[in-house]
Structure formats: structure tokens, C-alpha cells
Amino acid sequence: MNQISPLAFVHPEAKLGDNNIIGPFCYIDRNTVIGDNNVFQNSVTIHFGARIGNNNEIFPGASISTKPQDLKFKGEETLCEVGDNNSIRENVTISRGTASKGTTKVGSNNLLMESVHIAHDCVIGSGIIIGNSTKFAGEVTVDDCAIISANILCHQFCHIGGYVMVQGGSRFSMDIPPYIIVGKEPARYMGVNLVGLRRRGFSNELIDLIHNAYRLLYGTGTRAENIQRIKEELEVTPEIQHIIDFAEASQRGLIR
């Protein structure tokens, strides 16, 4: 049975699962689907197009599936999908998609700290920590297990690889490949994320291999030449292949 405060508004067309707690002054719009065992503390707003999974906790002032802040948006029906077991803290805003992709996606087991903004058509993976007041512009992709610190500004269309650590206060407009640390001003490559990779169970041998891949990738040649050197000089494990694929696919260029 759902526990819905008499001071909350739930649209009759909203679809709720079971054992949800809806606190006072929450607003749940039509065309929304909510799973089981979610906790919406007071003053949470769930807008048109939200699709929320199970076991999420959403804190006061959060606004999910907001109208995109994009002048090209013409009111088309789009979605905002949120997975399971997320902690979405105070005043987080997540926009729904536009005609570009149709859906903004947030995976599972994420911590989105206070005042994070995720813009339209972003794709946020799983196992990610995003620090206070960090802002993602439209169509940003963040891969699994990234740690994005506080007060970060990320340009639209950027791709942030998995297992990275981005230091607080950074600003960037280029892609961040996986397994590395990015920081300083202007933001730049600071080395392999040794501590993070060890915590995730990467062996010392594999970390050394990743380090050697980046030594070559950030060498003196062109990106294509450096990628070719990685293919020729290193054992191409799945992790090294992931680095190669990421670098080859980058549209905005790799952070230096």
C-alpha cells in the first residue's frame, strides 16, 4: 500500500507501484510511471514524462522530468527515465528529452548531490557520484562508475568515460576518456585514477597497462598515430580496447 500525504497531489492518471511514500507538498503529474518502494520526501515534483524505477529516495525540492531548457523544444512528448536505488538529493533538477533523442536517462545506484542539474537528452550511467552544484548541459553522456566532484561545469555533447575522477571546480568542453583523473585550471589530464581503480578491483598489472596506454595516447603524435601505437605496442585487453574505442569515437576531442 502506498503512503500518500493528504497534502500531496497525485494526478489520477499517474501510475504508481506499491509501498511508495509520497510526502507533503509533493506533486506528481499525469503521464508518469513510478515503481515500488520509492520515498519522495516533502516538496518533490515529478513532471509529465517521468519513468521512475524502484527503491529511489528523492529529497525536498528535487524536480524530475522538467521541461527542457532548450529553445528548440516545441512541446513534443518525451521522457525522463530514472532507474533503481538512486539517492537524488535536495534541489536536483533533471530535464526530460527533446526531439533530438527523446529521452533523458539516469541509471541505477547513483548519488546525485544537492543542486545537480542534468539537462535534456543526457545519458547518465550507473554507480556514479555527482557532487553538489555540478551542471551538465544537454546531451552529455557519463559512463558507469565515474566520480564527478562538486561545482563542475560540463559543456553540451561531452562524453565522460567510466571510472574517472573529475576534480571539483573543473570546467571542460572536451571528452574525458576512461580510468583517468582530470583537474586543475584549465582542466587537463592528471594521470590514471590509481586509487579508484584499485578500489574497484583492478590489478596492479592492469593499471600499469592502462598507464602505458595513456602514455602513448598523450604522446607527441596525432591522435590516430598514437592510437595505432597502442594497438601495436600493448596487449589489447578489453580495458585497452575500450580506451581505443573511446578515443576513436570522440567527436569533441580528448581533454589534454
Query: What confidence score (pLDDT) does residue 132 get?
Result: 98
Q: Which residues contact 128 (CB under 8 A, 6 or more apart)?
A: 107, 110, 111, 142, 144, 145, 146, 147, 148
Q: Does domain 197-249 have CATH number 1.20.1180.10?
A: yes
Q: What is the largest CA-CA distance in the chain?
A: 66
CA distances from 213 to 26, 80, 221, 227 (A): 49, 36, 14, 9
Task: Show which residues are catalytic.
Answer: 120-121, 138
Query: What confidence score (pLDDT) does residue 153 get?
Result: 97
Query: What confidence score (pLDDT) does residue 188 get?
Result: 95
Contact predicate 176/152, CB 8 Å: no
How much is the average pLDDT of 162-183? Answer: 97
In this structure, which topology does domain 3-142 adopt according to CATH?
A: UDP N-Acetylglucosamine Acyltransferase; domain 1 (2.160.10)
* Of 243, 189, 247, the residue nearest 223 (C-alpha): 247
Quickly state the pLDDT bin for 185 (edges 50, 70, 90): confident
What is the overall mean pLDDT for the chain? 97
For the chain, which residues make up each domain, given as ranges?
3-142, 197-249
Would the pLDDT of 255 be above 90? yes
Written as one string, the DSSP assignment of 215-234 is: HHHTSSS-HHHHHHHHHHHS
Q: Would the CATH topology of 3-142 be identical to that of 197-249?
A: no
